[in-house]
Amino acid sequence: MNYQPRLDDIHFILHDVLKAPAQLQALPSLADTDAELMRQVVDEAGKFTAQKIAPLQGVGDTIGCKFAGGKVTTPPGFKDAYQDFWQSGWPALACAPEDGGQGLPAVLEAVLFEMLSAANHGWTMAPGLLHGAYECIRHHGSEALKAQYLEKVASGEWLATMCLTEPHAGSDLGLVRTKALPQTDGSYRLSGTKIFISGGEHDLTDNIVHLVLARLPDAPAGPKGLSLFLAPKVLPDGTGNAIHCERIEEKMGLHGSPTCVMRFDWATGWLIGEPQRGLNAMFVMMNAARLHVGLQGIGLLEAAWQKADAYAKERRQMRAPKPTMSSTPDPIAEHPAMRRILATQRAWIDGGRVLAYRTAIELDIAKQHPDATRRHSAQLWCSLVTPVLKAAWTAQAFSGSSECLQVFGGHGYVREWGIEQIVRDARVSMIYEGTNEIQAIDLLVRKVLPDGGAGLSSLLLALCEGLDNRVPAHAQLGTQVAGLNQLTSALVEAAKADQELPYWVADDYLRALALTLLAWAWLQISAASQPESSSVNPARWTEPSEALRHWVLPEFGMRQHIIESRLGLRMCM
Amino acid sequence: MNYQPRLDDIHFILHDVLKAPAQLQALPSLADTDAELMRQVVDEAGKFTAQKIAPLQGVGDTIGCKFAGGKVTTPPGFKDAYQDFWQSGWPALACAPEDGGQGLPAVLEAVLFEMLSAANHGWTMAPGLLHGAYECIRHHGSEALKAQYLEKVASGEWLATMCLTEPHAGSDLGLVRTKALPQTDGSYRLSGTKIFISGGEHDLTDNIVHLVLARLPDAPAGPKGLSLFLAPKVLPDGTGNAIHCERIEEKMGLHGSPTCVMRFDWATGWLIGEPQRGLNAMFVMMNAARLHVGLQGIGLLEAAWQKADAYAKERRQMRAPKPTMSSTPDPIAEHPAMRRILATQRAWIDGGRVLAYRTAIELDIAKQHPDATRRHSAQLWCSLVTPVLKAAWTAQAFSGSSECLQVFGGHGYVREWGIEQIVRDARVSMIYEGTNEIQAIDLLVRKVLPDGGAGLSSLLLALCEGLDNRVPAHAQLGTQVAGLNQLTSALVEAAKADQELPYWVADDYLRALALTLLAWAWLQISAASQPESSSVNPARWTEPSEALRHWVLPEFGMRQHIIESRLGLRMCM
């Protein structure tokens, strides 16, 4: 069974829950955002995904990418699907009209990539970094570079890579050793080896645009000495650049995406942005990538849930405990342990969608809302919520798809049902674009603590708008917000005396915020799915909402407990 | 890096923590159990495992088992290693001397299989069911069957299988359809298809002894109509039996073990035990198998931990937060997030060992202690602790080995380090021998509730012996025990009115008991590792013990909370 986009769910969250069109109409370049157009784009994206991309999911895993003689062959069908994809204009959805794009809101691109990732994570890696590369070149590239590359990258006619990691430099990019020597014509020669380069080499497009972190001869050691360069596979004069794919990795999963070792053998490149400001230029790209990875998590979990849900309705084993027991075995979808697994994943999927789509909306608001205060709050939302989405939803994609595998029993462990592929594919999302541990440190140590918790506290205050403490679910969010504010204050204080401490509990802190955002997201869903306010069937939302309350949110108290006991605020039990 | 048994740790737990020799000397057949002999056996088992089995771990995955023309070829080296294994007498370790065995305590076999599973889960599947099959034939086989098969199975010269599952009958064995027709010579003809048969066909031994659940012509529907049969691959007259391997499964992992679809084409077999008492005869085998799966979990987690620990000490990225920061990147083993992951796994490994080894000791006590009360308490321990070991330690093997993978960053996702293989291999242990959900139901619904919680309560009482509430770790165990007793009483009451309810929270209940047993196990370790009472370096045990307190035990409160809120005993937050 291939993944099938649930367009009704997506429309409901975009329109009924988030009121996306109204939000976006406040922005100058999106003033004529039209609800009907948004629905059409989502429907078309769903159709394309279901028809062209989802059917290639299995072959991407079983055949995978092949490497021979420096060349990579992608699985059968991948190239045609990609050509179809860019020629249909999908990569250019949210690019500026002056660059050949369609100028649509970022949230539509978010929806597109959630569906693509659900349908085929491996294939989707290819265009996954395109939009980030587009933004990077657009904002930091010279006019000459933009003239040469911007439209090709905007349209997706050429794919792009992000060449950061080296064998000895993973999370610590300050250790990057690739060298860049300036040439008299203004270009540079790049020398070094990059690893884990997704799409470093492939047969999907005629050219590949590599964005490469390297060090100028006079640059200081550490991250501040890094500069960013653009080095194409094929040079403007049509000759090949001295960039060689040495091998592709054998991986746990994601076989549809070639993970390349790339050797730059004094390859020709051009500086992007200022010398020694390479990380700054690349961060645009990395932040966009983090939201995309969060969306992958949501998509993968949805794909796993769909498989498990369908199987659980078909498979009959044992009679389920009920007041009136059946005389024959019941579908396992009626057994409490299975219902719990299935409804819990939906709680994460639906809530994650609210948060991820809102983040994509806030990205546009942060760029161009006329009101500076609103731009600021949008910026704050993106800054604080993005690492949470990346870490918590990729963790759930892995553990939750593993729970969906469990629904199949032994059949889940064999390949034919395709569920184990999702578990293997999903695992990498906890690592790339900054490991989940790095996300947690980014959130707590780099974002929450430096301003004494003020930013986080104002985000939480906004979540509490309109809470009515007589409603249990409202009261619960209030309790979590109060708890999180207390933890934050205590951590701000404690970190002054013990700078190591926040690093121990950063993961718990991120989880506590994730569970608070999730509680908030579900309040929005519940409000929008009230029978009187919507035509949507409220039963669709009741079971995951109950699962959230029973099985998911109690983790908040545990995280609180762990942080408090580490802070010495209470005894362990 | 191959797995290397940590013999000091194992000796410490067997001798210093559990005082195994003294315990076993109280049993008639083990009266001359000698501490020195136990050490020697463990050391030799460690040597065999490290030298002969661990080096085949990689090839088992990358080459795997091959199927062609009804025959299975195991990976290179597997057959030689197996021949060496049985000829060295390892399978017969705990078999009775009258059957050609060495009559050693079950706990030594437990240690052996923990090490083998850690070294090479795939290979270890082959002899994994042998001892269970031996016990099954020994206790339920006719004299004629015993004369023909018992010694061959005891020695391991012939391997054995457990043929239960059918395409439509997994957790629900009552749906088994395989037919058995009685013949005039006292034999039976078996017809049907069995799936997920580990080692159903292979090249390791000349004969394979299949134990097969099937239904006699006059048998009622459901589990009570099943009988057990022995059907060998090669019949006593040397001709092949009508048993065909139709294919082997493509799986997520465990490629070193052939998972076979077996067709019984009116194959010849003989009844084991009474007609329609097949499940009863097989349960001996299934219970032994469950403890073994728990030991697999411990072994796999140890193997993953060893890899991650070694990598974390070598890999340098970023400076760790410390009062005096280094001027160069530190080993990641010094970063809090990695220390937390590593120490947490040790807390589960060491504590799991205490519980699993004790369970193996209790198995022998249950069989032959002169005092009936002691036999009864041993029986109770095995009955209640075995499902907990199986479920909680296999779940930890998967999630914990995934955390160990995370220590490697991107390198963990590629094959060369071997850590991703452990994650894939470990996943199946949560499914086979009764899914973890079935274990939880077994514990709560079938074992705890039927006697009103009396058995569980007496087990907990024994855990509390000698507690001194002035010691925080003692007080914590006391709190958990009290909490668990309260939950049990409340569940006993609630189940009277709502029989579905226990099924919803069975998993939380099992986790709560697992965390209580773990807290108890660590009290034993701490007591034995006091500087004054042992020559062991106490620093070895301090970090995991702290990790247990900080990061692991707080889950108890969450589980308690979940059950209580489901019972309506408190509001959700």
Q: What is the CATH number of domain B159-281?
A: 2.40.110.20
Tens of pLDDT, residue by residue over B271-292, are 999 999 999 888 877 777 899 9
Q: Does B399 have pLDDT greater than 90?
A: yes
User: Is the Cβ pair B557, A572 closer than 8 Å?
Assistant: no
Strands (E), B183-233: 188-198, 208-215, 226-232
pLDDT in tens, B202-217: 999 999 999 999 999 9
At B477-496, the pLDDT tens digits run 999 999 999 999 999 999 99
For the cut 90, the answer to whether the pLDDT of residue A195 exceeds it is yes
CB contact under 8 A, A437 and B572: no
CB-based contact, A251 to chain B, within 8 Å? yes
Query: How confident is the model over B249-275, as pLDDT tens digits?
Result: 999 999 999 999 999 999 999 999 999
Look at residue A23 and give its three-state secondary structure: helix
Which residue type sits at A228?
L
pLDDT band at B323 (very low <50, low <70, confident <90, very high): confident
Count A/B contacts: CB-CB distance under 8 Å: 208
Q: For residues B110 and B288, what is the distance between their CA atoms, to the nearest angstrom?
A: 10
Same fold, B7-145 and B159-281: no
Average pLDDT over residues A377-394: 97
* Dihedral angle sign, alpha carbons of residues B298, B302, B305, B307: negative
Which chain A residues are closer than 8 Å to B321 by Cβ?
499-500, 503
Active site residue A433: yes
Are B350 and B342 in contact by the 8 Å Cβ rule? The answer is no
For chain A, the structural domain boundaries read: 446-573
The single residue listed with the structure tokens 């923590």 is: B17
In angstroms, the CA B3 to CA B8 distance is 15
Contacts B558 to A, Cβ<8 Å: 554-555, 557-558
Hey, how many other C-beta atoms are within 10 angstroms of the C-beta on B368? 13
Q: Phi/psi of residue B206, each to 5°?
A: -75, -30
Provide the pLDDT confidence category of residue B533 given band limits of 50, 70 and 90. Answer: low
CB A110 within 8 A of CB A291: yes
Sign of CA dihedral B198, B201, B207, B212: positive
B21 CA: distance to closest CA in chain A (Å): 35
Q: Cβ of B507 and A321 within 8 Å?
A: no
- How many Å apart are CA B403 and CA A305, to the nearest integer? 23
Which of A195, A322, A436 is opposite residue B500, by nearest beta carbon? A322
8 Å CB contact of B424 and A428: no
Cα A253 to Cα A236: distance, rounded to the nearest angstrom: 35
Residues in CB range of A505: below 8 A, 6 or more apart: A444, A491, A562, A563, A566, A567
Rounded distance between C-alpha atoms, residue B258 and residue B122, angstroms? 9
Q: Does A424 touch chain B (CB under 8 A)?
A: yes
CA-based nearest distance B280→chain A, Å: 19
Residue B572: the pLDDT is: 44
How far is the alpha carbon of B381 from chain A, nearest alpha carbon, in Å?
A: 25
Cross-chain Cβ contact B409/A170 below 8 Å: yes
Catalytic residue, candidates A302, A433, A465, A543: A433
Asked whether the predicted pLDDT for residue B228 surpasses 50, the reply is: yes
Residue with tokens 């299989």: B113
For residue B259, list its beta bridge partners.
Answer: B198
Closest Cβ–Cβ partner in B170, B321, B437 for A410: B170
Asked if CATH classification 1.10.3470.10 holds for the domain at B7-145, the reply, yes or no, is no
Q: What is the DSSP letter of B471?
A: S
Q: What's the CA gap between B151 and B145, in Å, rounded?
A: 11
In the prediction, which pLDDT does A538 show?
A: 64
**Interface contact B337-A479, CB threshold 8 A:** no
Q: CB distance from A573 to chain B under 8 Å?
A: yes
What does the pLDDT read at residue B541? 92
Report yes or no: A381 at the B interface, CB cutoff 8 Å.
no
Please work out, in degrees rounded to the nearest 5, the angle formed at the alpha carbon of residue B545 by the alpha carbons of B540 and B546. 110
Tell whether ipTM is more than 0.85.
Answer: yes
Q: How far is A312 from chain B (nearest CA, A)?
A: 13
Please tell me whether the overall predicted TM-score, pTM, comes out greater than 0.80 for this model. yes
Show residues of chain A in contact with B323, CB under 8 Å. Answer: 499-500
Give the pLDDT confidence score for residue A419 in this predicted structure: 98
CB < 8 Å to B335, chain A = 503
